[in-house]
Amino acid sequence: MPIFSTELAYERRALTMNSEFDQDTYPGRPRILFIGFPESSHTHSWIDLLADGAFNVRLFGLPSAEPPAGWQVKTYLTKADNGRSDNATRRTVFPPPESSAVGLAMAARSALNRGAVNGVPIMRRIAESCIGLTEILAKGDHAATIEGALAAVIREWKPDIIHTLGFDSASYFYLRARKEFKLEAIGRWVAQARGGPDLALQRYSPTYRPLIEEVLANCDHFIADNEPNYSYALSVGLTQEKISSPGMGVVSGAGGMDVEAMRGMWSLPPSKRERVIVWPKAYELYTSKAMPVFEAILNVWDRIQPCRIEMLWMVQSDVQIWYEKLFPPHIKAHCPSFGRLSREETLQRVASARVMIAPSLSDGIPNTMMEAMALGAAPLVSPLDTITPVVKHQENVFFARNLYPDELGEALVRLMSDDDLVDRMAENNLVRIQELADRRAVKKRALVYYDEIARQACRISQRSEI
């Protein structure tokens, strides 16, 4: 299709289909712009805390994927898809519509600005060669970078609150746009650290530590899912008022869970269930390692029989290779591997299992652990400084370090042989999970939290106009 006709079609869609997108559901009420991964169940779960509140909510999606069609929060899309049509809940703001070549050039320039190709010289040269194409072809009102697209959205909609879901990538992305396009005067910035390596590991990186400190210095409010993250943030200069005025306290990145609904998913105690072990994250990151788990399973296989081990989300080719190489056919027959599963299917499997294993090297307060607690499965997790303050060994969970196959193996043997232990943990966790992650309590706090921040934004706006 010629470039001019593509542009014309885009403009017609913008005029005829997006008027409903532009209308606030609650005119005059606070506007909240979230920035995060649009396909993430954590993103959906957090934003859905506000579903019953009178807030005008939109999501600026990072360029990873699209949200599910059934999720009706208004979303700005930034991942190229030639077959996509904008509608009442979706608007494409990047890459621009001129052509796929321009889209590629824009993406290359954005990657260069973010430093994403600094360590790969040939990729950096390719990205630099695309900048000229970007400057020549990126004409009109369309943003030349994804940061520019975000700036255009913020200037047009003028949100009262801008909430970045995670430091890497959301907060760092917004920080770049904020500085480049001078967006500091628009909205109150809520920066949320969401477990994992966001602060726990990246603060040791010469690249990320300055970014972390810059986010903490410039945000207006800060939320974390564990006390060590709050303590660290205060130690590097975060002011107390950014945590407590108002405050959400320690809260999971998903905004808690519907504990009552999860309790309704199971009736049998773990000792009476089928002898199944579920490994929900059978992949490898720098925050968790799969090989020690493989070794542990193989070492104690004869001691945990009979059993089946379900390995979920085994999507990395190197992990798949080692699985195929290490597991003999008679063991593999009882250790099925699965690719991507929906959250609902994963929860169903945990609700039917005796044991859930999720060792790690770095984490917040893991949702996998809390879900297992709510679903009656015995959680095997690692004794991290973010986890040990909130659960107890052999009372709520069983601890084993990720890099120690012998520890992991002995933990599996104990959990698969001690019926009294796993049943006692399940009983204790009925109480503990209510205290730790009841979504109803988080929802009440969230509604008050955003209302108060919106009032602060309004007061600041009024003062600036005087």
Look at residue 127 in the predicted model and tell me its pLDDT.
Answer: 56
Residue 179 counted as domain residue: yes
Decide: helix, strand or coil at residue 93. coil
Same domain, 30 and 150: yes
Determine which helix (DSSP H) or strand (DSSP E) holds 277, and give its type and residue range: strand 276-279
Q: What is the pLDDT of residue 135?
A: 47
Identify the residue whose tokens are 């994804």: 146
Residue 294 covered by a domain: yes
**Are 161 and 299 members of one domain?**
no
In a domain, 104, yes or no: no
Q: Is residue 409 part of a domain?
A: yes
Reported as a single tens digit per residue, the pLDDT across 333-364 is: 999 999 999 889 999 999 999 999 999 999 98
Q: Do residues 191 and 248 touch, judged by C-beta distance below 8 A? A: no
Looking at the fold, whether 233 and 322 belong to one and the same domain comes out as no
Q: Please indicate, yes or no, whether residues 293 and 422 belong to a single structural domain of this protein.
A: yes
Does residue 289 lie within any of the structural domains? Answer: yes
Which residues pair with residue 278 across a beta bridge? 310, 356
> In this structure, is the dihedral angle defined by the CA atoms of residues 359, 362, 363 and 364, taken in order, positive or negative?
positive
Task: Give the chain's domain count.
Answer: 2
Task: Clarify whether residues 151 and 293 are in a common domain.
Answer: no
| Separation between Cα atoms, residue 81 and residue 65, nearest integer Å | 10
Residue 51 and residue 33 share a domain:
yes
Do residue 292 and residue 423 come from a single domain? yes
Q: Which residue's entry shows tokens 């199971």?
A: 266
201: number of Cβ within 10 Å: 15
Claim to verify: residue 370 and residue 387 sit in the same structural domain:
yes
In a domain? residue 171: yes
Residue 259 CA to residue 270 CA, distance in Å, equals 18
Same domain flag for 374 and 298: yes
pLDDT in tens, 2-23: 433 434 443 444 444 458 999 9
pLDDT at 462 over 90: no
Same domain for 171 and 298, yes or no, is: no
Domain with 331, as residue range(s), is 259-437
Q: Say whether pLDDT at 125 is over 70.
A: no
The predicted model scores a pTM of 0.84
Three-state DSSP at 457 gives: helix
Using CB atoms within 10 A of its CB, is residue 408 exposed (0-12), middle (13-18) or buried (19+)? Answer: buried
Compute the distance between CA of residue 163 and CA of residue 59 in angstroms, rounded to an integer: 9
Q: Any idea what the CATH number is for the domain that residue 334 is in?
A: 3.40.50.2000
Task: Looking at the structure, tell me whether residues 432 and 449 fall in a common domain.
Answer: no
Check whether residue 50 and residue 191 sit in a common domain. yes
Residues 6+ apart with CB under 8 A from 399: 380, 381, 382, 383, 388, 393, 411
Q: What is the pLDDT of residue 137?
A: 47
